[in-house]
Chain A
Amino acid sequence: MTGFAAIIAQTIRLSLAGGGALVGLVFFLALVAIIPFGVGPDLNLLARIGPAILWIGVLLASLLGLDRLFGADNEDGSLDLLILSGEPLILIVLGRALGHWVATGLPLIIAAPVLGLMLNLQPIALLAVMATLLAGTPAVSLIGAVGAALTVGLARGGMLIAVLVLPLVIPVLIFGVSATQGAVSDPEPFRAPFLLLCALTCAALVAGPVAGAAALKAALD
């Protein structure tokens, strides 16, 4: 268990020291800031599409640090040593994914309501966005870790990770945004999509590390 905790702590440490977490935050800010220039100063429209923009922004910003998640380990030889440590490969992948979520996902969740103000979101919508992000972004990190593990030996894996991961996180996006809409407008439900979002995260928690471990093992040869 100390090994698992050490992997999480090291992942957080490296993301913060390497600036990956900050880059994601700045990217998120830039993305949300240019949307009003694109769609025009229609406050009602911005309030309606705001949750979706925040969610897409968080998704894209989460992808930024993924190529380093196992790529750095592969380059400096840590991957071999991690595998030989005797720590289960599944826990190694899970630790890296959780570390990525803490270092990249959490700051984005905290920043989301602040940026939501720029999009004319109501307080209830801000709260709903935060809640759905909190429930859904772990799934993004876990699925992202699988993509990172699959592309570990490739020289320019970053782009490929986005292509691999984005289609897989579409369900997360759908339920995240629809739960937020449900919280804001009355006839639509909040509970059902939110619970489905939690279910997706639980499923990713189980399947992600297994798939990631298999991908890393395949990448060794």
Chain B
Amino acid sequence: MTVSHSIQETADAANYPAIRLAAVDLDCVRGDRTVFAGLCFVLERGQLMAAVGPNGSGKSSLLRLIAGLLRPAGGSIGLSVEDPDSDPGTDTDGGLVHYLGHLDGLKRQMSVAENLRFWRQLYGGERPVSLDHVCMIAGVGHLADVPVAILSAGQRRRVGLARLLISPRPLWLLDEPLSALDADGTELLGQLMARHLAAGGAIVAATHQDLPIAPDRTIRIEGGRGMLVAAEGASQ
């Protein structure tokens, strides 16, 4: 297939530094309510972690904590580059993360290509990725000149996936990545995730559905407690 072949190319182009994400006794407080407390985990390159739990259990908050968009109420969360020979001057707080939230970050008035071009300029990278290529992989190639306002939720989600590919960043934070995606899109997401992990990236996905590929570890957040489930697979 041309598409999976192209995915291969993008992933090979990425050469991720070895990263290590570690949370120690992480507490999350929103408003006056303790969402979860005492969360501990370690995630290294090539690993996929699923965060599962009922609605409102704090899966999205966990992702925002990892991204640095929220401050932990207690404990610590740290993302570090382990590779000693990767240039130490590179930013370690903002430049390592791709975040796919439940909001897509797309301007309704602008076309798909304009939106992606904007994010490519901001997310930079030394080797700019071809937008046509990225759109084609994500299955929105024919929509490049269409304003985002008239896209369906699933199509916007695919544009969000395309955004993950515009610059190589080692840690992907995916918030309900399967929502609004069709079977085809789910398969595409699985391929992208697999390639990303194979290239040495890491993924944290908050989800209540089964991910297209089996997670290396699953963290179950329930009733204010976070438990690391050792087994692979979210079903437990």
Contact = CB atoms under 8 A, between A and B. Distances in A.
Interface of A: 2-3, 5-7, 10, 13-14, 17-18, 72, 75-78, 80-87, 220-221
B119 A81 contact: yes
The 8 closest A-B CB pairs, nearest first, are A77-B103, A86-B94, A6-B121, A86-B95, A77-B105, A85-B122, A81-B105, A3-B122
A76 to B, nearest CB: 6
B75 to A, nearest CB: 16
29 contacts: A2-B121, A2-B124, A3-B124, A6-B118, A7-B122, A10-B107, A10-B110, A10-B118, A13-B114, A14-B107, A14-B109, A17-B109, A18-B109, A76-B105, A76-B108, A77-B102, A77-B105, A80-B64, A80-B67, A80-B101, A84-B67, A84-B98, A84-B99, A85-B122, A85-B124, A86-B95, A86-B123, A86-B124, A220-B69
A84 B191 CA distance: 24
A84 B97 contact: yes
Given A2-B121, A2-B124, 19 more contacts: A5-B121, A6-B122, A14-B109, A72-B107, A76-B103, A76-B106, A77-B101, A77-B102, A77-B103, A78-B105, A81-B105, A84-B68, A84-B94, A84-B98, A85-B94, A85-B119, A86-B124, A221-B70, A221-B71
Interface of B: 64, 67-71, 91, 93-95, 97-99, 101-110, 114, 118-119, 121-124
Contacts, number: 75
DSSP class of B's interface residues: helix, strand, loop or mixed? Answer: loop
Contacts of B71: 221
Contacts of A76: 103-108
A131 to B, nearest CB: 34
Contact of A83 (B91, B94, B106, B110): B94
A14 B106 CA distance: 12
Contacts of B121: 2-3, 5-6
Contacts of B107: 10, 14, 72, 76, 78
B110 A13 contact: yes
A53 to B, nearest CB: 33
A80 B99 contact: yes
Contacts of A80: 64, 67, 69, 99, 101, 103, 105
A221 B110 CA distance: 29
Nearest to B96: A86
B69 A84 contact: yes
Contacts of B103: 75-77, 80
Contacts of A78: 105-107
Nearest to A77: B103
Contacts of A6: 118, 121-122
A76 B97 CA distance: 19
